[in-house]
Amino acid sequence: MGPNGAGKSTLINLLAGLLRPSGGSLSVMGHDVVSDYRKARRLLGVVPQELVFDPFFNVREMLRFQAGYFGCGPENDVWIDEVLEGLGLTDKANTNMRALSGGMKRRALIAQALAHKPPVLVLDEPTAGVDVELRQTLWAFIKRLNGEGTTIILTTHYLEEAETLCSRVAMLKQGEIVALDSTQNLLNRLQSKQLKLKLAGALPSSLEPLKRGENAGYVTLNLSATSEVERILGELRAAHVGVEDLQMIETDLEDVFLSIMSSTS
């Protein structure tokens, strides 16, 4: 994760051999991407942001050619059929790539990255601008692959996706990793809970110290623990202030991301 220009796509290009590193080293499952590039690339599948495809082939032909570049023969067709089914492309297998919709082209590019059955799959913002159905189909298949042992590296601006799907998160800023930890540990950095209330009356003065803000008729209170809710509601009842609406707000990855980005130079 990181803002635009942080270096996410550059890192992917370095892994894939599209750029050469000016320093340091990169390896895929122990194989250096420069000195042992053939093995490193054989272990890697990359789905780029852009819709790049060969307009002269149908979907199945494209996948066979892609697998062939990595030495896979006709015996690989069983895997190609599995990928087509998993991504909802079976009925488009004999359709020319030019005739596919944008969403179907995106699915085909993911299938292309998987054609040679790599153990590491890199997804560079794969759901940017795609519909909900494709997103759900994609993540169901990707989670299955991950469960079967494939390592998934994802870049995304959809922070709720990262929070739901990823077990480990790296945050980049200006080419530097500013945070790298398990998703849960990152969430634990901000132990913040808030109570959002729409009141039929004024907030009692005893609760003013907890007040964080007020917007659109709602008052937001900071909580140190969930158990405080009972005390707050008790004080509201004692002051004869009715509660018209109530929402609990937990810290999410977006809060952590914004906090880390603002606190690092």
Q: Among 3.40.50.300, 3.40.50.980, 3.30.1360.70, 3.90.79.10, name the CATH number for the domain at 8-157.
A: 3.40.50.300
Of the segments 78-82, 245-249, 261-265, which one has the largest average pLDDT value? 78-82
233-239 long-range contacts, CB within 8 A, separation 24+ = 235/204, 235/206, 235/207, 236/197, 236/199, 236/204, 236/207, 238/204, 239/201, 239/204
What does the pLDDT average to over 228-245?
92
Kindly state the average pLDDT of the residues 139-148: 90
Model confidence at 129, pLDDT cuts 50, 70, 90, reads: low
Specify the pLDDT at position 103: 81
Give the pLDDT of residue 46.
93
At residue 149, the pLDDT reads: 93
Is a pLDDT exceeding 70 seen at residue 242? yes
Query: CA nearest 121: which of 1, 16, 39?
Result: 16
Provide the percentage of residues in the chain whose pLDDT is more than 90: 51
Half-sphere exposure of 236 (CA within 13 A, CB side): 20
Residue 191's pLDDT is 64
